[in-house]
Structure 1
Amino acid sequence: MATTPNIVSTLIAPDPERAGLTRKVTGFDHTGQKVEIAVVEERPLTIYLNSQEIVTAMTIGDYPDFLALGFLRNQGMLRDDDNVTAVDFDEDLNVVVVRTERKTNYEEKMRKKTRTSGCAVGTVFGDMMEGLEALELPQTEVRTSWLYALAEQINRMPSLYLSAGAIHGTVLCQEDRPLVYMEDVGRHNAVDKVAGWMFANHAEPADKILYTTGRLTSEMVIKCAQMGIPTLVSRSGFTAWGVEIAQSIGLTLIGRLRGQRFTCLAGEERLIRDAKPNMRDREKTS
């Protein structure tokens, strides 16, 4: 008889009870009854690279160091071989400063800004596509048994999404194990936090899976590829350009993962169907 997989210990996981992430707000329900619910806080965070102001992002405010490192890494402003000498966060000013041994100046790069399709109106820089042509992702296999186990574990984990909603999650996984779970008001922020953790901990990307609750858009595919992660999975859907890019760079792209149902639009040849789906699975797809 099949057993339900246990939630494994994660290196980092959401803490819905952490002070400052939500606040109680009183309103009225559809019957006119007074209700009190938790709503997610959001606040600005300004990121500096050495002495240069780079961007101000709206965020829930946790893990500002990982968010800053991951944003700079995913924008190509922080190199893999950079020596980060300090990451200083001023909670009163909502400012984080990443300091590197290498002198940096990205004035020209910052003139080429592109607004993304992110729910929190993300901002990336216009040369994100550069280097994708030469990118070679590892052709890592993915097993359906891993996908089923991850979907069940992640959906049962305590999170701000379950307690308050209005938030996106991104989970760094290895085979059937969630390793790092980050949340934020914008899905790009959640991905950047994972990227920052990977950078700070010198994590190897080749055997990892990136799971996100957000749409599989072009910029999400690009970020995953730039992080060196060969597999991107979501319980949400796709955009055509995101699929096209994934197919062109050899990234395995799986969406609409609900229970034991999913759609693979890139990398089918790397998908090992080692577990048959439960055809009685009735998990809602909306």
Structure 2
Amino acid sequence: MNHKSCPDEYPISLVINGYEMAVFQLTKFDLEDWTYGYLFSEGFIQAANDIESIVINEDMGSIHVTLSAAFDEEQVFSKKKHYTAGCGRGVTFFSMTDVKNFDKVTSNQTYQLSYLLKKRSEFAQNSRFYLETGGMHGACIVDEEGNITIREDIGRHNAVDKIIGHALRNGLRPNRLVLLTTGRVSYEMLSKAAKFGFPVIGSRTAATKQAIQLARYLNIEVIGYLRGKMAMIYTAAGRVENDVNPEPLLERCFEGGNQPVELYR
């Protein structure tokens, strides 16, 4: 029998300009990427240079951030918090109504389905901490040269924040990237992808009805059940070409029955 180690999670307090924002359950690696990604996803920063300094104290379980510009703490922290679903629970200040006001994503980049399936396989084979523990989520970006970069965490949304933070810190152009995730694509996951500007997001599992509605409105291509030779394309942005099965099965999604979903297997 193969024995795997247990995945780690720790309570870590995020403090911005002296104000404690919340305590998050995080896996303690790539915390600087997470900090940049989370603050960007939540609208606290618009660019990497909006952060003046970050002090991470793993022993104390704290991340202290100083922003280069002042912000209205009372206005920000008085906003209603929305707690995210799933493991490593997080918090977002964006409602679905807020997300609908994000800029629509524009990109003329297209991908073959076989290419995305291949990259999803590479992602799985190179997810070090999942392979060690069997209990970690991951997020991966595929750049225009086909290179992959992976970040992992106990929480699926934390992993996405980490990969967004990596992209932000390295000045990567979102309209030339694909975001892959191991977790369910829910509305807060879709909002993170939309805020950064990813034109394509793929998952090994499902997307929620709310995420699909937002994706269609914001012009983001969402692909679920991306595994083996199977995939479900929930949207119709025209960024994914089916070169795996020329005759997809059209199935009715849970979204209301009037828009068929293409299922390839």
Is residue 106 of structure 2 the alignment partner of residue 138 of structure 1?
yes
CA drift at 1:96: 1.3
Tell me the amino acid that sits aligned with residue 235 of structure 1. R
* RMSD, aligned CA: 2.3
Q: Structure 2 vs 1, CA of residues 50 and 179 (structure 1 numbering), >3 Å: closer, same or farther?
A: farther
- How far apart are residue 118 of structure 1 and its match? 2.8
Per-residue deviation, residues 45-94 of structure 1 (Å, max 9, x unmatched): 11122222112111110011111111111111112275322111122212
Question: Which range moves more in the overlay, 249-258 or 73-82?
Answer: 73-82
CA 1:48 to 1:82, structure 2 compared with 1: closer, same or farther past 3 Å?
same
TM-score (norm 1): 0.78
> Does the alignment pair 1:113 with 2:81?
yes
Matched to 1:67, the amino acid is: W
Tell me, which stretches of 5 or more residues in structure 1 are unaligned? 1-28, 30-34, 280-286
Provide structure 2 residue ranges, at least 5 long, that are not aligned to the other structure.
Answer: 248-265
Worse overlay, 114-123 or 222-231 = 114-123
The answer as to whether partners of 1:88 and 1:96 remain within 8 angstroms in 2 is yes
Answer 1 or 2: which has greater helix percent. 2
Q: Equivalents in 2 of 1:278, 1:164: separation in Å? A: 38
Tell me the distance in 2 between the aligned counterparts of 1:59 and 1:158.
17
SS in structure 2 at match of 1:40: coil
Question: Of the candidates 43, 65, 73, which is equivalent to residue 10 of structure 2?
Answer: 43
The residue identity in structure 2 corresponding to 1:217 is S
Amino acid aligned to 1:76:
G
Query: Secondary structure of the residue that 1:219 maps to in structure 2?
Result: helix
Does 2:142 match 1:173? yes
* Contact 1:173/1:179 (8 A) holds in 2: yes
Separation of aligned partners in 1, 2:94 and 2:105: 22
Residue number among 201, 224, 231 corresponding to 2:170 in the alignment? 201
Structure 1 residues 242, 131: CA separation in 2 closer, same or farther (over 3 Å shift)? closer
* Number of corresponding residues: 245
Corresponding residue for 1:183?
A: 152
Paired residues for 1:68-107 under 5 Å: 68-80=35-47, 82-107=49-74
Selected match of 1:216 from 164, 175, 185:
185
| Rg comparison, structure with higher value | 1
- Is the CA contact 2:127–2:152 (under 8 Å) kept in the aligned structure 1? no
In structure 2, relative to structure 1, the CA distance for the partners of 1:129 and 1:194 (3 Å cut) is farther
**Which of the numbers 81, 86, 91 marks the counterpart of 1:123?**
91
TM-fit CA distance, 1:253: 0.3
| One-letter code aligned to 1:110 | F
Letter of the 1:156 partner, please give it. Answer: Q
Name the CA distance, whole Å, in 2 between partners of 1:37 and 1:253.
32
**Contact 2:39 / 2:45 at 8 angstroms: preserved in 1?**
yes
Q: Are the aligned partners of 2:200 and 2:239 in contact in 1 as well (CA < 8 Å)?
A: no
- The residue aligned with 1:62 is 29
Q: Determine the structure 2 residue equivalent to 1:20.
A: none
Deviations 1:145-174 (A, max 9, x none): 321220221122252212212211000112
Shifted more, 74-83 versus 202-211: the winner is 74-83
Equivalent residue for 1:151?
A: 120
Q: Percent identity of the aligned residues?
A: 25
